[in-house]
Amino acid sequence: MSTNETDRALAADIHVRGAELAALPEDQWFERKSARIGARELAQTLCAFANAEGGTIVVGLHNGVVEGMPADPKHVNALRQASLDFTSPPVRVRIDQVGCVNSRGEMSALLVFRVLPGETVHEMSNGDCYLRVGDESRRLGFAQRQELHYDRGPSQFDGAPVRGVSVSDLDASLLKQYRESAGFSGTNTQLLRNRGLVTPDDESVTTAGYLLFAPDPTERLPQAVVRVIRYRAPDRGTGAGLNVEAGHDVRIEGPIPRLITDARRVIEDWQPKRTALDGTGRFSEQPVVPPDAWLEGLVNAVVHRSYSLGGDHIRVEIFPDRIELTSPGRFPGLADPTAPLEVSRYARNPRIARVCTDLRLTRELGEGIRRMFDEMRSRGLTDPVYTQTAGSVKLTLSGVSRISDSIVARLPRGSLSTLNALRAARQPLGTGELQELLDVSRPTLIRQLNALREEGLVKWTGKSKQDPRAMWVVED
């Protein structure tokens, strides 16, 4: 569910407001709580939302029943103070009281807690730490908490103010589009405030708001660019032998919603195609890489890249047999790029991620990666390959056929990642180079490579086992 649905329900007529909120499914950004909830229990959910992308908690609803808030000022005040009393540092939250008609037909009220994404990791006063994942508030173990601390750092770049830029400087047509999508009846400033896109004093737009809605974000952030390049051969080439097609190297700029739309159009036009039988039994041109897969990769790159890294931009490189997308910034925390399906939930730019979900540009973090894998596998293609450098992540979507499940079952765990890394490199690699690339132990890597060689998937070239120039290469 988009967070727009929550805003629409809150803006509904007072006689149906409670019923509409009670009927909404809980998700990453929305949860209901009974009026009888204790302040400490509420604080756990506040903590979980703040450690993720923020969200809305409505108190006074339980199991489809509109309870409303009791006429007990002591209890209501305890809930209002839950953040101050039980979280450290205190979660930033705005609290509103909205009218409703309860399930008994009486006039009552609901407490609405709008939680902003935390600038640092929030914990409970007893040291427990929670993170919102889907419709659950999960208590984190030591390693998970360590990863969250590592990721958050001192602050989030997308929440930093852009001094001298106010709401009136943003693109009015995009803001109107967003208001209509959200079904929001308040002012632009109120809508942006609810999403953490303006500073608490409403004087400046945050970096997220600027990237999403400024007419030309590159005026302040020249790195906010997607560059699309098409090559006429499987290799880039160098110097005079550079294989870039004439007129097929463009820089795409603009606010994020338009940036994604414009980049999509270019990639659709330039994507590699091959002639094959279609569903009607006729030969036609079909994409080498499933469009849904590269679109997920593009959206993930734009939404989750590190915008704090100046001087670098997103690159989409289109080859006859594959598409490569390179995004500034490493994988979050302790995440393993060789196991992308196991990457835990974390949004580097939570405000951007939430608005893009409102606009239906993206879904929950992690779902896009799984969808890419599903799309590639459904076409019988090799899995997406992530490789990580000191300052970027590259995603390779290749038109190479996936090996059979029977062979996969015989291979040691991690062998496919090793094979995919060799394929992505498109050149022979030594054992040491592969070990550094994959960050695995040498005995594990040797076991994987020998198994791949026995299946005829890779070959070893060298004069002896001690040959320092020996190489591994993918078999044709």
* pLDDT per position as a tens digit, 34-57: 999 999 999 999 999 999 889 999
CB 79 within 8 A of CB 42: yes
* Residue with the two structure tokens 């496919």: 416
pLDDT band at 3 (very low <50, low <70, confident <90, very high): low
The region of weakest confidence among 22-31, 73-82, 237-246, 290-299 is: 237-246
Q: What is the pLDDT, as a whole number, of residue 237?
A: 83
Give residue 362's identity as a one-letter amino acid code: T
Q: What is the pLDDT, as a whole number, of residue 363?
A: 60
Q: Which domains are delineated in the chain?
A: 3-149 (3.30.950.30), 161-215 (no CATH), 219-402 (3.30.565.60), 404-476 (1.10.10.10)
Q: What is the pLDDT of residues 97-128, one digit of tens each?
A: 999 999 999 999 999 999 998 878 899 999 99
Q: What is the pLDDT of residues 282-318, one digit of tens each?
A: 777 889 999 999 999 999 999 989 898 888 899 999 9
The region of weakest confidence among 2-6, 12-16, 52-56, 443-447 is: 2-6
Taken in order 81, 87, 93, 98, the sign of the CA dihedral is: negative
Strand partners, 133: 136
Q: What are phi and psi of 101, to 5 degrees?
A: -110, 120
Q: Which two tokens mark 279?
A: 């569903």
As a whole number, mean pLDDT of residues 171-190 equals 86
pLDDT band at 75 (very low <50, low <70, confident <90, very high): very high
* Residue with the two structure tokens 């989409």: 316
Taken in order 164, 299, 385, 225, the sign of the CA dihedral is: negative
Q: What is the pLDDT, as a whole number, of residue 277?
A: 62
Q: What share of the chain is helix, strand, coil (3-state, %, to 5)?
A: 40, 25, 40
The model carries a pTM of: 0.70
As a whole number, mean pLDDT of residues 53-79 equals 93
Alpha helices in 153-255 (DSSP H): 172-182, 188-194, 207-213
Q: What is the pLDDT of residues 422-473, one digit of tens each?
A: 887 778 888 888 888 787 888 999 999 999 999 889 999 888 877 778 899 9
As a whole number, mean pLDDT of residues 413-420 equals 84
